[in-house]
Amino acid sequence: MPNPLASITPVLELLGNHLKILPATGGAVEELQHPDIDEIEDALLNRETGEITDFAETPTPSPANLYRPTPPLFRPEKHLFRFFIDGSLRTYYLATGIEGQRSFPIQLAQIGAAVMERDDQGLVRCLKSEHKVLLLVPTGAHGLSDTVWQQLERLRTPDGFFEPVDITKKTPLTPREPTEDDLRNRAGGIARHRMHQLEIDLVKETDSRRNEDSWLILDGAVKLDDFIRAPYLIGVAKSFRKDPEFRFGRGRATGRLDITSILAGLEFAHRTVAFSAHDGKVAFWYVRLRPQKELDYPLMGVVKVELPRPDGTPVDSDLADLLSRALVAERNVTPYGQDRRWHCHLYPIFLAEQTIKNRFYSQQVLLGAIRWPRPTATP
């Protein structure tokens, strides 16, 4: 059986013939993800919302009461969330390439996303999944010359499975100019950005089937390059930035609260009121899925919910309650023992993640495909 990653062989030959290659120990080294990558991502995507000053809920809540009860609304009673989307990625450091005076990392990423559908019996199946392999290299002053890059681009596969990606490009997850020192981390951000693009593409698969009784949960934020405008969709983040400040009221009545204080007061099966972000284009709130007494830390067992409001209107309290109640019911079952974020993980999202990971090629397959050409002896 041919190696399914055989399409990268000519890429390696091209790079090997034009660059000096210093291969990674063992052929390829998996880049371990930052333990708080979701939180970092939330901070990047919502960097403009460090201070929250407005509610995004109608009727407008009182700053004196930021919580609303949301007892669980189980599937047999109302099956609201029927679609779930998550993505996953694995990044490998393959080699250091040297072209002229420039040395830079050569990395490979497997990215994927899946949309899952849940039927009325609660059984989950994969509606569609995407899987791509990216070669992550810098270009220009920090990397490949235009000549090599153009040749590399010609090796992308027609089906889009393999694609070389220039990691010097700016994205919401890599907002700064590249520097020589952060190229390796930057590749991870670029790969995550591409993974989120796959996720957003998969939203379309559910367009004709989403309605007020049939919602989709996207893992993470609802803003990427732009706001997701699709209706009947929420983003649910397991990890979120812990530094925003909440300030409501005017003049002497102004009250300041940090997120820890707010979430410490959030009881089980309750939500916070909805807050406004991105000039009202996103309404977000927090929901406690699990009792605090069962957990180690007040911020555990809480998810952040984002609802796109493309027209900037506040969300109706009843709708936020409904979504939150259905979300609280998603606490059963949980991937306890399989994921350290079990306390705020939604099981169908976990299944989407597993679906993708199970489709990734193993490191053994990857290593089987990594065959750098032997350097020809110089006379």
Partner 1 sequence: MAEEPPTRQAIGRTSATEQDPITSDEFRFWLPPDTIVNPFDIVVVDQVSQPGHPPSKTYGLVTSLEHRTDAPNDLANFISSNFGELSEEPNTPRQGTTVAFVNVLSNTADIYMPVPSERLVYFADPEGIQQALGTDTLLRDRPHDAIPAGLIKMSNGASAVAYLDRRYVLGPESAHVNISGISGLATKTSYAMFLIQSILQRASDPEKIAVIILNVKQADLLQIDRRPDQPLPPEQMELWEALGLEPQPFQNVRYLLPRGHNGQANSYPPVPTIHTLYAYDLEGTADKLDLLFSNVADPSGTMEGIYGEIMAGITGHDAEFRDVQSWGALLEFLRRKQSEGGRWRGMFAGSSIGAFRRHLRRIVQTRQTGIFVDSRSRNEKLLSSELVNIKGGYIYVVDIAKMADDEQTLVFGDILRTVYAVKAEEAEDRTEQAPVPEKVIIFVDELNKYAPGGPKASPITQQVLDVAERGRSLGVILISAQQFMSAVHDRVTGNCATKILGRTGSAEVMQPDYRFLEQDLKMAVTRLVKGELLVSHPVYRQPVKVIFPLPAYQQEQG
Query: If binding is defined by CB under 8 A, does position 334 make contact with partner 1?
Result: yes
Contact pick of 69, 71, 76, 231 for partner 1 (by CB under 8 A): 76
HSE (side-chain half, CA atoms, 13 Å) at 271: 28
Structure tokens at 229: 């405008």
Contact pick of 226, 338, 340, 365 for partner 1 (by CB under 8 A): 338
Contact criterion met (CB below 8 Å) for 312 and 353 = no
Structure tokens at 95: 């080699």
Residue 195: count of CB within 10 angstroms of its CB: 23
Among residues 28, 11, 19, 27, the alpha carbon closest in space to that of 143 is found at 19
Question: Least distance in Å: CB of 269 to partner 1?
Answer: 10
CA 56 – CA 314 distance, rounded (Å):
4
Query: Which of 264/333 has CB closer to partner 1?
Result: 333
CA 228 – CA 17 distance, rounded (Å):
43
Contact pick of 124, 165, 173, 302 for partner 1 (by CB under 8 A): 124
* Full DSSP string of 68-117: EE-----TTT---EEEEEEEEEEEEEEEEEEETTEEEEEEEEEEEEEEEE
Query: If binding is defined by CB under 8 A, does position 271 make contact with partner 1?
Result: no
Query: If binding is defined by CB under 8 A, does position 342 make contact with partner 1?
Result: yes
Query: If binding is defined by CB under 8 A, does position 360 make contact with partner 1?
Result: no
Task: Please give the sequence-ordered ranges of beta strands (E in DSSP) within 119-263, or none if there are none.
Answer: 124-137, 162-166, 215-219, 233-237, 245-248, 255-258
Contact pick of 224, 354, 360, 367 for partner 1 (by CB under 8 A): 354
Question: Least distance in Å: CB of 124 to partner 1?
Answer: 6
Task: Calculate the alpha carbon distances from 204 to 22, 138, 139, 310 in Å.
Answer: 42, 31, 32, 17
Binding span for partner 1 by CB under 8 A among 48-56, 119-127, 174-182, 248-256: 119-127
Query: If binding is defined by CB under 8 A, does position 329 make contact with partner 1?
Result: yes
Question: Least distance in Å: CB of 338 to partner 1?
Answer: 6
* Full DSSP string of 182-210: GHHHHHHHHHHHHHHHHHHHHHGGGGGG-
Query: Which of 23/335 has CB closer to partner 1?
Result: 335
Query: If binding is defined by CB under 8 A, does position 364 make contact with partner 1?
Result: no
Contact criterion met (CB below 8 Å) for 284 and 309 = no
Question: Least distance in Å: CB of 79 to partner 1?
Answer: 9
Question: Least distance in Å: CB of 118 to partner 1?
Answer: 6
Question: Least distance in Å: CB of 324 to partner 1?
Answer: 14
Question: Least distance in Å: CB of 368 to partner 1?
Answer: 17
Question: Least distance in Å: CB of 240 to partner 1?
Answer: 22
Binding span for partner 1 by CB under 8 A among 36-44, 54-62, 155-163, 289-297: 289-297
Query: Which of 80/315 has CB closer to partner 1?
Result: 80
Contact criterion met (CB below 8 Å) for 127 and 204 = no
Residues binding partner 1: what is the number (CB under 8 A)?
27
Question: Least distance in Å: CB of 323 to partner 1?
Answer: 14
Query: Which of 145/354 has CB closer to partner 1?
Result: 354
* Bond prior to 59 in cis (omega within 30° of 0): yes
Binding span for partner 1 by CB under 8 A among 22-30, 34-42, 183-191, 345-353: 345-353
C-alpha 71: how far from chain center: 28
Could you list the residues that contact partner 1 (CB under 8 A)? 72, 74-76, 118, 121-124, 290-291, 294, 329-338, 342, 347-348, 351, 354
